[in-house]
Structure 1
Amino acid sequence: MTAVDGAVHVRYLVDDVRAAIDFYTGHLGFVPGERVFPPAFADVRRGNLLLLLSGPESSAARPMPDGRKPGPGGWNRIHLLVDDIDAEVTRLRKAGVEFRSEVVSGPGGRQIVLDDPAGNPVELFQP
């Protein structure tokens, strides 16, 4: 399978497409994509990442044949590289962004997990 546009595509289910667009473009350096159809769907882009934002009215939010309903949240997440994690955390906290954790250090660098308005996790990582 070959990607036509060279981008990595990730889909997040969100409660409010407009709030998600505002969050990703206003706080995390994304730009609006080519498809913006709130309240059902929109996409935003950051570098080679195309983030598909699917609202409750989108086809991606339809119940599965067994009755399970897709929804936002969980722990799988997009991973965004930053140059100065402390500065980013300070900036985002001042803007009212909710974090799931504090900055933690590991063998590869430092990371912190925050939530978008629908509760989807986003990891900021400084190598």
Structure 2
Amino acid sequence: MTEPDQLASVRYIVDDVAAAIDFYTTHLGFTLHTHPAPAFADVVRGPLRLLLSGPATSGARATPDDHAAPGRNRIHLIVDDLDAEVDRLRAAGQPFRSEVVTGPGGRQILLADPAGNLVELFQPASH
């Protein structure tokens, strides 16, 4: 069992580790944690450790067909001002996969990393 002060890790399969490092550190406030080889790196933001696994890593091996159906999994990052983040990222040429959606809990938009993995930017509703 993980202790509360440890990082939670999520693995994203990426085509280009260097491009993924640049995307997450330049645009989303992650810091580079380790980059032991061109095939793998991990970046950290708060308690989240994002494992960036390139094509040569064991983590990128094929998933069995019965588990490979596309889903809607994504990391969820809370932002203070969604409109400002959208403007900043659009100006940087980053691809969004949705428009801003408003619901009872707040507002969100989906962004894609260089490999097409989804990132949800979420601004909670003010109470």
* TM > 0.5 fold call: yes
Q: How does 1:3-82 map to 2 (within 5 A)?
A: 3=3, 6-33=6-33, 35-64=34-63, 68=65, 74-82=71-79
3-state SS, counterpart of residue 98 of structure 1: coil
What TM-score do the two structures reach when normalised by structure 2?
Answer: 0.88
Task: Tell me the number of residue pairs that the alignment of Structure 1 and Structure 2 aligns.
Answer: 122
3-state SS, counterpart of residue 22 of structure 1: helix
Counterpart of 2:85 in structure 1: which amino acid? E
Please provide the CA RMSD for this pair: 2.0
* Unaligned ranges ≥5, structure 2: none
- TM-superposed deviation, 1:3: 4.5
- TM-superposed deviation, 1:44: 0.2
Deviations 1:72-94 (A, max 9, x none): x7520000000000000000000
Counterpart of 1:104 in structure 2: which amino acid? V
Identity %: 67
What TM-score do the two structures reach when normalised by structure 1?
Answer: 0.88
Q: Which residue of 1 aligns with 2:83?
A: 86
3-state SS, counterpart of residue 25 of structure 1: helix
Q: Which residue of 1 aligns with 2:97?
A: 100
> CA 1:56–1:3 in 2, change beyond 3 Å: closer, same or farther?
farther
